[in-house]
Structure 1
Amino acid sequence: MRERQRFHGDASVLHRNAVRTPLPDADAERLFHRNMLSVAEGRERKAELLVDPDVSLLDAYERELERVAESFERRLRQFAGEGYEEIALATQRGERDDRIGRLTSYYFEGLWRIQQRTTISEMLFFPIILRYPDSFTMNVRFASGYATTESVLYESPAHSTEQLDDEHAETYYEESAYSQRKAAAYLRETAQIIRDEFPDPDESDVEDRYGGIVSAGGRRGSTFSAMLKRVEPDPGRFSSPADETMLVSAGPEARRTADELLDDDAVFL
């Protein structure tokens, strides 16, 4: 009987790779649209939590991670069923090298890193989602650091380890609340970008279904960051239609957004 293997991560699975998923019919188009609406709505729910005095930023942060982890787990079950962990581990050990194994390993690596973010500082989640007329791609990335060059920063007293006297503590809490309100406004604003980039397929022409976003979130100690902006996909990226979900090489958008948004000393994890 094989001893249960502990997963230690394999960054090469994610590096320079993305998942391309076909959108073969109207039902698939509508499902993708609903999923992106859920992402936008999740961003708006987080904004509401940030301005709620009865909810700590720690709670808002953990709820966001839970939503992302649940989406990764759903994808894993779609590809590999309930035994996705063993398939991912077998692929990592080199015991299988097939489409399902590679997809499972990719999302399992992403899930493992998402779960680590609750305790690890200085790990930036930096994904790209791009929409093409017949498919979409998701490029899951994690980089060193806690923010991009365009991130909005906000402070969490619950994560602070500093011991402050009463006067400074009151000032710190007031400034933290102000930064959270600014971040909430930013989250609501960028949620609209998601809606604009991924419109309802029943209300848009197929030729217009190019869109994309890059987002980032991380923390360093008690300082959190958020970023989301639109990305213009390369219309000539794929020369053939998508027949099935598979790993593909990351497109030029991945390099461009990394060059634009990451510090020179940042590395992918």
Structure 2
Amino acid sequence: MSERTVRFNGDAEVLYRQAVRTPLPDEDAERVFHENMMDVADAQVRKAEMLEDPDVPLLEAYEKQLEGIAATYKRRCRHIAGDDYEEVALAYQRGERTDRIGALTAYYFEGLWRMQQRFTVADMMFFPIILRYPDSFTVNIRFASGYKTTESVLYESPEHSTEDLDEEYAETYYHESLYSQKEAAEQIKETAEILREEFPHPDEVPFDERKYGGIVSAGGRKGSVFSSMLQSVEPDPDRFTEPVDEPTLVDEGPEAARTERELLPDGCIVI
């Protein structure tokens, strides 16, 4: 990134209690949305396969997933504001822009910056929620303090353990860690199916059966322990009363508060 971006320190207010609402005016738009969500499902499968492979370091699987999400946000920034998206986002942060394009770019740029921070910052969990409505979908980029939800699957990376174990216990810990990774891989594979069920192909499922769908996911790390979670979410049918004709920032919906209440341990801070 540029020197200007290196000096960026983040602005939690850009994300706080907000989401991006994007219209789905026709089946072509629905197909694009479906394809994007299937990319997420495929990424879950790839992550599971890497966890199952004892020759692939766990951190590599973790970082590959972060890189994929960061690349998605970077593409969104470039799609919205062009190659100068960094300057657009920073101008919005400085108060020099107040327009819709500036707000959207700043939102995704903040998400991109925070995803990059997760390579080095522990105890910060990625906690997004994606919801499908009849005429639109919303993406709510959230981060939470801590490293796991109440429903997260946990798995260990022996390469990142700071425990000084003797040879016998070190070998036992190594094999237990591999077992935890394989157990997690099975559950992560199942989350890919949740994504396929929540966001079906518009050519294969009637509109009344696909007009609502949603998922909430979470991923974090603390030392040698990694966590993962993805569940379906039922969207509130009364959230929106007016259509939208272009991507725009909106207040988060009641689903956000519900998932925080149901999934986050007491004392978690959400941005």
- What value does the CA root-mean-square deviation take over the aligned residues? 1.1
Cα deviation per residue 1:15-45 (whole Å; 9 max; x = unaligned)? 1000001111221111110111110010000
Report 1:110-129 matches (<5 A).
Answer: 110-129=111-130
Residue 232 (structure 1) aligns with:
234
Instruction: Give structure 1 regions of 4+ aligned residues with deviation exceeding 6 angstroms.
Output: none
Q: Does 1:211 align with 2:213?
A: yes
Residue 263 of structure 2 is aligned to residue 257 of structure 1: no
Matched residue SS, 1:201: coil
Q: For residue 58 of structure 1, what is the amino acid of its counterpart?
A: L
Deviation at 1:93, TM superposition (A): 0.5
Counterpart Cα distance in 1 of 2:4 and 2:217: 35
Q: Could you tell me how far apart the structure 1 residues matched to 2:152 and 2:201 are? A: 28
Question: What TM-score results when the alignment is normalised by the length of structure 1?
Answer: 0.97
Q: How do 1:82-231 and structure 2 match up within 5 A? A: 82-208=83-209, 209-231=211-233
Aligned-partner Cα distance in 1 for 2:219–2:77: 23
Per-residue CA distance 1:72-122 (angstroms, 9 max, x = gap): 011001100111111111100111111000000000000000011111110
Give the counterpart of 1:242 among 238, 241, 244.
244
Deviates more, 1:202-211 or 1:131-140: 202-211
Looking at structure 1, the residues matched to 15 and 4 of structure 2 have their Cα atoms a distance apart, in angstroms, of 23
Distance, in Å, in 2 between the alignment partners of 1:93 and 1:162 is: 45
Q: 1:47, 1:207 → 2: CA distance?
A: 32
* Alignment-derived partner of residue 269 in structure 2: 267
The one-letter amino acid of 1:32's match is F
Structure 1 SS opposite 2:131: strand
SS in 2 for 1:203: coil
| Greater displacement, 142-151 / 234-243 | 234-243
Q: Which runs of 5+ in 1 are unaligned?
A: none
- Secondary structure of the residue that 1:217 maps to in structure 2? strand
SS in 2 for 1:19: strand
Shift of 1:171: 0.7
Using the TM superposition, give the Cα deviation of residue 207 of structure 1 relative to its aligned residue in structure 2, in angstroms: 2.3
Displacement after TM superposition at 1:4 (Å): 4.0
Deviations 1:188-221 (A, max 9, x none): 1111000000011011222222000000000111
SS at match of 1:202: coil
